[in-house]
Structure 1
């Protein structure tokens, strides 16, 4: 990959619709109507500090992200990366060549600041034709809630390769992260972003991916820990016959805010997409946010796409916000749809189990495990699946204690 990144010109901004409070320079104050029309810029100054009234910030506790909204360098020791397992895949940058930014374009202030202040160098490149039998795990550990960090990560699967990359977050920090994902023609890549932060961590991430012809990306956002976790994946199915599967799992406890704004853009013909996010919430002021946007472009003939979000509220005082959106610009598609549901336990399921001698507490545990394990089992990593199911069991034990 040898593309040169340039600072965007005014043409990078939408002239039709602009988010009123994003205050992007020279853009005016007309509300954004669709995700595709949000302005993009590499320059933090082109974005005003969010107020919480903007369409992309109105469900987020903006005040808690204050440390990631200041145009100042982060702390060098805020976050550490264990690259031992990924070392063989790290691609050194050629002198004078910018390997980042072939596809990535920041669409909010934390992302633009991460682009400006985040060091470049973590470029994981899966060789062409290679098939990695084991997942590559990159542990990312924060040094403390008073530490600020900006990061840029580039994951590239070269043609006809197969691999799974796991970004495993733990510890605590104020962490703004850009993840650029490039899936070349014929490649099959899974990227798992696992958030198991301490309760005082703040994590704002932008994942942007492009998928080539006959290539497949499976993208997972798994969030259990953290005070505020905002991971927003954006995937463009660029090549003919490309496929994108976007899955998410969250378990919000008292005081936690777990958020994902998902964007799937069908751009090439005969593409296939599936979006499924599931969440459980328990405890006072536990809050989850899911906003799903699917755009089927004018050239995306033969598209087959579906998105859904399901939330299970386990206790009083918890709230789930769920907003699906679908935009279709061609009539020649196989199918498209979206769905959203938030509710408490299914009384019929509980009755069925209790009628067979199972206690109410055990019945509730089985219902929640069955609800969430659907996502866990799609990971395809037995050890991680077991670890996550154990984590769900621990969360359920805490609410019933």
Structure 2
């Protein structure tokens, strides 16, 4: 049975602003330092426009997101959806509007604007007990770099269902997007967000998910294309025995900014979480940002959690920012940890391969493929895995040319 809620009212709104640092100057307040303390609101007016000094914006090229910070309706044709294979799972646009916002709460200005201006109607519901043999592919095509749009997607896995949903972004647009994910008790859902935009695209997305008792969510963020791509996933393990796996892969070229701020909240007892993001960078001013926050709440006894970020810098001029954070509010856990590493090629690996007759160029190719394929192989979709490995090969050919 689906839990329904009413459209959020004013009682849901926070009066806090997104710039607590300004409040410090005005009223002596302590700035928000952790992801769990960030304010939430459905009202864009409750958020100040970011300046780049705020804790959640200081690594982002805010000026390039300017079009997504204006409280005006977007172009209705900024993106098109290819839904032929999804139609059987779509709920009527006017029948389940109240389900939007059951869990989702915007935590920054682009997300609040997407809530206000983005159309509701793309509600993908996997029926209870259903097991979908094939992935549900949702192509999202940008119609032009001069187009500015907002979108909302709701993905709901009913109890004891199993499915994979792929959101495949391509083309170009300036696009702010909210993705709400609800995994009911006993369900198993995989959500893959592919960013294969053109080089001039700007994409700011907030993914928020809740996972019920004995349910599992695997969430992937795969970013290859786009000028500025900021996909921030948030996952709450709400039910006892729930599991959440958050994986990411990025390959940043010259001039690209690829960013993810990841939040995993262990709320229920005996939950399990694993976060692993990997990235490669090449070219002048290629930039990746990963901020990982894990919160183990006071009732999350028996938690087992780990987060890690690994980055491989292939050329001079590229930069990777990596910041892991861990909060633990109970002493009764199985284990928790975090790690971050950014570096260049391992000379010992290259020497080992070259000593066996492999050329330096081929050795470098094998090292990068081995490094990134760890994430690719977790997708569980052979055709997509091969596409991404081919894309990595193409990127490597460019750096070696």
Contact 2:24–2:30 under 8 Å retained in 1: no
Coordinate RMSD, CA, aligned: 2.2
Contact 1:219–1:246 under 8 Å retained in 2: yes
Contact 1:2–1:97 under 8 Å retained in 2: no
Helix, strand or coil: the match of 1:23?
helix
Partner of 2:233: 233
Contact 1:19–1:29 under 8 Å retained in 2: no
Task: Check 1:347–1:97 CA distance in 2 against 1; reply closer, same or farther (3 A cut).
Answer: closer
Task: Check 1:181–1:24 CA distance in 2 against 1; reply closer, same or farther (3 A cut).
Answer: farther
Contact 2:19–2:50 under 8 Å retained in 1: no
Contact 1:23–1:48 under 8 Å retained in 2: no
Give, in whole Å, the separation in 1 of the partners of 2:27 and 2:199. Answer: 38
The Cα offsets for residues 185-241 of structure 1, whole Å up to 9 and x where unpaired, read as: 000000000000000000000000000000000000000000000000000000000
Deviation (angstroms), 1:92: 1.3
Give, in whole Å, the separation in 2 of the partners of 1:301 and 1:269. Answer: 5
The Cα offsets for residues 110-148 of structure 1, whole Å up to 9 and x where unpaired, read as: 000000000000000000000001101000000111100
Helix, strand or coil: the match of 1:22?
helix
Moved over 4 A (4+): 1-19, 21-29, 93-97
Task: Check 1:128–1:343 CA distance in 2 against 1; reply closer, same or farther (3 A cut).
Answer: same
Deviation (angstroms), 1:9: 7.5
Contact 2:97–2:121 under 8 Å retained in 1: no
Task: Check 1:262–1:106 CA distance in 2 against 1; reply closer, same or farther (3 A cut).
Answer: same
Task: Check 1:114–1:26 CA distance in 2 against 1; reply closer, same or farther (3 A cut).
Answer: farther
Deviation (angstroms), 1:13: 7.3
Contact 2:16–2:46 under 8 Å retained in 1: no
Contact 2:24–2:31 under 8 Å retained in 1: no
Deviation (angstroms), 1:8: 6.5
The Cα offsets for residues 59-116 of structure 1, whole Å up to 9 and x where unpaired, read as: 0000000000000000011100001011100011455851200000000000000000
Q: Following superposition of structure 1 onto structure 2, how do residues 166-185 of structure 1 map, counting pairs within 5 Å?
A: 166-185=166-185
Task: Check 1:114–1:249 CA distance in 2 against 1; reply closer, same or farther (3 A cut).
Answer: same
The Cα offsets for residues 244-281 of structure 1, whole Å up to 9 and x where unpaired, read as: 00000000000000000000000000000000000000
Give, in whole Å, the separation in 2 of the partners of 1:89 and 1:26. Answer: 50
Higher mean displacement: 29-38 or 385-394: 29-38
Contact 1:13–1:39 under 8 Å retained in 2: no
Contact 1:17–1:32 under 8 Å retained in 2: no
The Cα offsets for residues 23-47 of structure 1, whole Å up to 9 and x where unpaired, read as: 7999975310210000000000000
The Cα offsets for residues 290-342 of structure 1, whole Å up to 9 and x where unpaired, read as: 00000000000000000000000000000000000000000000000000000
Give, in whole Å, the separation in 2 of the partners of 1:233 and 1:6. Answer: 24
Contact 2:13–2:42 under 8 Å retained in 1: no
Give, in whole Å, the separation in 2 of the partners of 1:68 and 1:45. Answer: 14
Deviation (angstroms), 1:15: 9.6
Deviation (angstroms), 1:393: 0.1
Partner of 2:109: 109
Deviation (angstroms), 1:20: 2.1
Deviation (angstroms), 1:394: 0.0
TM-score (norm: length of structure 1)? 0.96
Contact 1:21–1:51 under 8 Å retained in 2: no
Task: Check 1:45–1:26 CA distance in 2 against 1; reply closer, same or farther (3 A cut).
Answer: farther
TM-score (norm: length of structure 2)? 0.96
Q: Following superposition of structure 1 onto structure 2, how do residues 78-117 of structure 1 map, counting pairs within 5 Å?
A: 78-93=78-93, 95=95, 98-117=98-117
Contact 1:17–1:38 under 8 Å retained in 2: no
Helix, strand or coil: the match of 2:301?
coil
Task: Check 1:316–1:367 CA distance in 2 against 1; reply closer, same or farther (3 A cut).
Answer: same
Task: Check 1:151–1:15 CA distance in 2 against 1; reply closer, same or farther (3 A cut).
Answer: closer
Give, in whole Å, the separation in 2 of the partners of 1:41 and 1:6. Answer: 16
Give, in whole Å, the separation in 2 of the partners of 1:99 and 1:13. Answer: 17
Deviation (angstroms), 1:164: 0.2
- Structure 1 alignment gaps of length 5 or more: none
Task: Check 1:132–1:27 CA distance in 2 against 1; reply closer, same or farther (3 A cut).
Answer: farther
Helix, strand or coil: the match of 2:363?
helix
Contact 2:207–2:233 under 8 Å retained in 1: yes
Contact 1:139–1:168 under 8 Å retained in 2: yes
Q: Give the paired residue count.
A: 401
